[in-house]
A = this chain, B = another copy of it.
Amino acid sequence: MPLPVPLRGVVPPLCTPLTSGGDVDVRSLGALVEHVLSAGAEAVFALGSSGEAAFLTDDRRGTALRAVVEAVGGRVPVLAGAIDMTTARVRAHARAAEALGADALVVTAPFYALAHPVETAGHFRRVRAGTGLPLIAYDIPSAVHSKLTAATLLPLVEDGTLAGLKDSSGDLDALRVLLAGLRERGLDRTFSVLTGSERAADAALLAGAHGVVPGLGNVDPAGYVRLYGHARAGRGREAAAEQDRLRALFALTETGDPAVMSSGSSALRGFKTALHLLGVIDCPATAAHPDPLPEASVRTVRRLLEEAGLL
């Protein structure tokens, strides 16, 4: 299905439920799709960072995307990450995603080999030239260690290379520079700016972002749908209050032991543990940590879900 122009609203970056052996749990993934669609998600994003794309072999990426496309069944668009180091490798993933029925591709700047902004622009153009799908740039400096600036993005918007941006940079100031640039060029009604910030989505939306792609939206999609509604209507205080509630819930990402686990691993475990406690997925295993979380961490996640009114 064609992507709405611009894409708006809440677009959860789907977790990829796994079995304890590391296989994709197709049934649980289908249940997760229902969980977020019934709450009002306007699209879903498969094979992103929250979906552990970096940890999945090509085969498992395929299994996960196929399962999402089937579970969604055309009700909303399916965005698919095509995450790899450089253009030729990304194009291979893009072809696979297109064949599996994705409606749009989400692609980062090159990584491992740091690219010049001119090289990054060429990368997006060559990826776009190799696919029939609309392209959404994925700005995630914490993973790729470069920032997609307005100076790089605006020409790619103007020439039709990009249909949207998922901004996971946390840089609200740069987001506003981009939004101002889009408004000046009359492009803010066709190009979709999506914030990946779970914790400052209110500020991004009040500033003019079109939607939000929150990892925590796997757990509480309804909360982000309410937040989006408040912000869209200019209710700043109500948006901030809902955001503060979600910020408190976000503490479930910090329950892993920092002596043995990165913050990213802890966040993935937190999301999956919450989804398991909510009865959405069967097993909280992540690719990097197939073993269960310690009982104390699980209790903390449970308490946070209860305090947020979700359990």
- Give the interface of A toward B (CB within 8 A): 22, 49, 52, 54-57, 60, 83, 85-89, 92, 110-116, 118-119, 142-145, 170, 172-173, 176, 180, 199-200, 202-203, 206-208, 231, 234-240, 243-244, 247-248, 258-262, 264-265, 287-288
Pick 25 A–B contacts, CB within 8 A, sort by A. A52-B113, A54-B89, A55-B86, A55-B89, A57-B92, A88-B287, A112-B144, A113-B143, A113-B288, A115-B265, A115-B288, A116-B261, A116-B265, A118-B260, A118-B261, A145-B145, A170-B173, A172-B172, A200-B203, A202-B203, A203-B207, A206-B206, A234-B235, A234-B236, A234-B238
Question: Which 3 pairs from chain A and chain B are nearest by CB?
Answer: A236-B236, A234-B237, A203-B203
Expressed in whole angstroms, the minimum distance between the Cβ of A304 and any Cβ of chain B is: 14
Q: Which single member of B86, B173, B237, B262 contacts A114 (CB below 8 Å)?
A: B262
> What is the CA–CA distance of A170 and B208 in the complex, to the nearest angstrom?
19
Please state if A180 and B264 are interface contacts (CB–CB under 8 Å).
Answer: no
Q: Which residues of chain B are near A259, meaning CB under 8 Å?
A: 118
Q: Which residues of chain B are near A264, meaning CB under 8 Å?
A: 113-114
A122 (CB) vs chain B CBs: closest residue: B288
Expressed in whole angstroms, the minimum distance between the Cβ of A237 and any Cβ of chain B is: 3
> What is the CA–CA distance of A60 and B88 in the complex, to the nearest angstrom?
10
Q: Which residues of chain B are near A54, meaning CB under 8 Å?
A: 85-86, 89, 110, 112-113
Expressed in whole angstroms, the minimum distance between the Cβ of A127 and any Cβ of chain B is: 13
Q: Which single member of B87, B180, B247 contacts A247 (CB below 8 Å)?
A: B180
Expressed in whole angstroms, the minimum distance between the Cβ of A124 and any Cβ of chain B is: 14
Expressed in whole angstroms, the minimum distance between the Cβ of A167 and any Cβ of chain B is: 14
Q: Which residues of chain B are near A89, meaning CB under 8 Å?
A: 54-57
A260 (CB) vs chain B CBs: closest residue: B118
A91 (CB) vs chain B CBs: closest residue: B57
Extra contacts besides A55-B87, A87-B288 (11): CB < 8 Å: A56-B89, A115-B265, A115-B288, A170-B173, A173-B200, A203-B203, A206-B239, A206-B240, A207-B244, A231-B236, A234-B236
A144 (CB) vs chain B CBs: closest residue: B112
A288 (CB) vs chain B CBs: closest residue: B119
A116 (CB) vs chain B CBs: closest residue: B262
